[in-house]
């Protein structure tokens, strides 16, 4: 029990610097209204999905937390957020490196996830993001940032407001991580292993659901199952594509539009499961 709490605490502490930096950025825009900064971060940039996917590949879920904050503030688009989520693999990379016989698959998995993130992040923006003028986009951004910052004593300065936001979200994530970790601890890895439909073409649907669990334990579990031969290549890519760490739960916490949140998580799940099935189909033909 104590070990579970300590693990959850350590996982939450890893995200703390990213939370603080993202709130510093949001508060800076709210206070300074930097036009150049807004344009640089604006999701109209044609390279935003590529940059977001590259950041997501870095082995931790800090950038998914940053992306959730920036999307809630309308600094980045839905497509860029989804690109970051799809590229994120949380703790999978260091875990996979501990299995020498599977470490050769690492670049393949990351490469496929990067391509998926860029392609589908771009498609999401083409299909779901309305085109706006720069001025309209700027106004929309400030409305959402102001909504986030309205109860944070902003008159006391950027630093104090950022610290207050960071502490509140950190405590929320810590409590949530402890609860999820306890559930996984009591259920056990053996139970998960029995329900993953090993050898079935439908396995990516199951691994995608496990990946959606907003905790690093899900990516660790999926990676171990893959290394032990219980998951197919498509299934591990599905699970790691939906496994954005705490990004999903932070999105729900910071973005008040619940319908939009469900759409984003639904798209992430559908994309992850769909790509996993296609990959498994191709590998069976080869």
- The CA distance from 105 to 231, in Å, is 13
Cβ–Cβ < 8 Å for 77, 45: no
Instruction: Write down the pLDDT at residue 89.
Output: 80
Instruction: Write down the pLDDT at residue 34.
Output: 46
Burial label for 133, CB within 10 Å (0-12, 13-18, 19+), is exposed
Instruction: Write down the pLDDT at residue 100.
Output: 74
Q: Enter the pTM of the model.
A: 0.74
Instruction: Write down the pLDDT at residue 174.
Output: 77
Instruction: Write down the pLDDT at residue 198.
Output: 65
Cβ–Cβ < 8 Å for 178, 4: yes
pLDDT in tens, the chain (286 residues): 677 778 778 877 877 887 687 677 766 665 554 454 445 545 456 788 998 888 888 766 667 888 888 898 888 899 999 999 999 887 777 777 777 777 778 889 999 999 999 999 999 999 987 655 334 454 555 555 455 555 545 455 678 777 887 787 778 767 766 776 776 677 665 665 666 666 677 889 989 998 888 767 677 778 877 887 778 999 999 999 998 877 888 899 889 899 999 999 999 999 999 999 999 999 888 7
Instruction: Write down the pLDDT at residue 240.
Output: 92
Instruction: Write down the pLDDT at residue 60.
Output: 64
- The CA distance from 286 to 271, in Å, is 23
Helix (H), strand (E) at residue 192: helix 189-194
- The CA distance from 196 to 273, in Å, is 13
Instruction: Write down the pLDDT at residue 20.
Output: 80
Instruction: Write down the pLDDT at residue 157.
Output: 65
């Amino acid at each position: 029990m104590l070990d579970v709490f300590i693990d959850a605490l350590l996982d939450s502490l890893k995200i703390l610097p990213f939370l603080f930096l993202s709130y510093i950025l949001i508060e800076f825009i709210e206070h300074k209204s930097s036009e150049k900064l807004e344009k640089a971060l604006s999701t109209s940039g044609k390279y935003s999905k590529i940059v977001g996917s590259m950041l997501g590949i870095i082995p931790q879920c800090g950038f998914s937390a940053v992306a959730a904050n920036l999307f809630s503030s309308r600094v980045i688009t839905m497509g860029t957020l989804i690109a970051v989520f799809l590229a994120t693999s949380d703790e999978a990379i260091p875990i996979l490196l501990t299995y020498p016989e599977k470490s050769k698959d690492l670049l393949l998995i990351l490469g496929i996830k990067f391509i998926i993130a860029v392609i589908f992040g771009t498609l999401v923006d083409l299909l779901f993001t309305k085109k706006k003028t720069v001025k309209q986009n700027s106004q929309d951004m400030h409305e959402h940032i102001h909504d986030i910052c309205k109860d944070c004593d902003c008159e006391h300065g950027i630093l104090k407001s950022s610290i207050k936001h960071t502490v509140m979200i950190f405590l929320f994530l810590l409590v949530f991580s402890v609860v999820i970790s306890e559930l996984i601890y009591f259920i056990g890895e053996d139970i998960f292993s029995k329900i993953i439909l090993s050898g079935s073409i439908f396995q990516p649907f199951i691994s995608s659901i496990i990946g959606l669990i907003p905790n690093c334990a899900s990516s660790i579990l999926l990676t171990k199952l893959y290394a032990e031969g219980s998951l197919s290549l498509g299934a591990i890519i599905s699970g790691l594509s939906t496994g954005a760490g705490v990004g999903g739960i932070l999105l729900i916490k910071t973005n008040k539009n619940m319908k939009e949140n469900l759409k984003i998580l639904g798209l992430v799940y559908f994309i992850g499961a769909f790509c996993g099935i296609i990959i498994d189909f191709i590998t069976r033909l080869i």
